[in-house]
């Protein structure tokens, strides 16, 4: 696991070593056989994770179709949520809620290629939602629901790659400058989904679109964004399925002139 920080303190002449976090580490086993996050039998400690627990979702237990399922009626919680072992662990969310008090590190180890599929429900992450670190990679397949996170890393600089498919639902990034494509292997494709960023992110978006890292409809459509018009104080990103000429107006609004068909 990454980002594990050790503190060294001198107290009355003695060295004291301690971790920043005393959180428990709980691992998915699918021992209950129903794949439900809310079943205690599916966790190695025989209890459902709480906001005090770092939750590990790894293969072979979480290989498709045996990864955790969060559905209507399940209120999942974790301090942090990560994948680490080589392989393709999965998490599926069709409803319910997931509250993460600190971070999501999805694809957090060499050749760990986590796949997150979401069609409904709500996810709240206080700090970072990260796709890919340290040779790992994350894929987000989103067709519905809402994710709200402090930052969104697609991937970090050391991630192998990251893919975010916003084919429905809304992804909210709540911290200024919180959208981070750490290297050229990050890709976001938007169709009927929506990305909402805190503050004015138009310059960053223009660069990512020009570089081909943010696409609309797989590159056949157009990515649109405005600052402060759809939502005051925020940059809203959407897409349309056919190209358009975009004219910037006023406070960052977009006027569209559709190209005439031949």
Domain boundaries, the chain: 25-258
* pLDDT value of residue 23: 61
* pLDDT value of residue 24: 65
Alpha carbons 47 and 169: distance in angstroms, whole number: 31
* pLDDT value of residue 244: 56
Residue 151 parent element (H or E): strand 146-153
* pLDDT value of residue 223: 97
Q: Note the pTM of the prediction, 2 decimals.
A: 0.86
Whether a cis peptide bond, with omega within 30° of 0, leads into 100 is no
- Residue 75 exposed, middle or buried by CB count within 10 Å (0-12, 13-18, 19+): middle
Alpha carbons 36 and 79: distance in angstroms, whole number: 19
pLDDT tens digit at each of 262 positions of the chain: 545 433 333 333 333 333 334 466 999 999 999 999 999 999 999 999 999 999 999 999 999 999 999 999 999 999 999 999 999 999 999 999 999 999 999 999 999 999 999 999 999 999 999 999 999 999 999 999 999 999 999 999 999 999 999 999 999 999 999 999 999 999 999 999 999 999 999 999 999 999 999 999 999 999 999 999 999 999 999 999 987 544 443 344 443 433 332 3
Distances (CA, A) of 178 to 90, 127, 138, 181: 25, 10, 17, 10
At residue 249, the 3 state secondary structure works out as strand
Alpha carbons 110 and 117: distance in angstroms, whole number: 21
* pLDDT value of residue 13: 33
């Amino acid at each position: 696991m990454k980002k594990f920080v050790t503190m060294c303190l001198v107290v009355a002449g003695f060295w004291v070593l301690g971790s920043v976090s005393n959180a428990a580490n709980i691992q998915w086993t699918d021992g209950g056989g129903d794949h439900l996050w809310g079943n205690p039998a599916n966790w190695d400690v025989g209890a459902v994770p709480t906001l005090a627990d770092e939750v590990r979702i790894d293969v072979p237990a979480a290989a498709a179709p045996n990864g955790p399922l969060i559905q209507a009626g399940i209120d999942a919680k974790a301090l942090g949520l990560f994948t680490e072992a080589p392989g393709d662990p999965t998490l599926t969310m069709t409803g319910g809620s997931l509250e993460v008090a600190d971070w999501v590190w999805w694809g957090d180890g060499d050749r760990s290629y986590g796949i997150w599929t979401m069609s409904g429900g709500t996810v709240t992450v206080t700090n970072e939602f990260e796709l890919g670190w340290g040779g790992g990679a994350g894929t987000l397949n989103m067709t519905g629901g809402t994710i709200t996170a402090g930052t969104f890393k697609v991937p970090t600089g050391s991630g192998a790659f990251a893919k975010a498919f916003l084919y429905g639902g809304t992804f909210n990034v709540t911290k200024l400058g919180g959208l981070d494509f750490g290297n050229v292997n990050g890709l976001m494709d938007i169709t009927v989904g929506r990305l909402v960023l805190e503050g004015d992110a138009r310059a960053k978006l223009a660069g990512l679109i020009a570089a081909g890292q943010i696409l609309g409809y797989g590159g056949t459509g157009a990515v649109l964004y405005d600052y402060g018009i759809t939502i005051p104080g925020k940059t809203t990103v959407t897409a349309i399925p056919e190209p358009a000429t975009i004219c910037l107006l006023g406070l960052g609004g977009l006027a569209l002139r559709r190209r005439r068909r031949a």
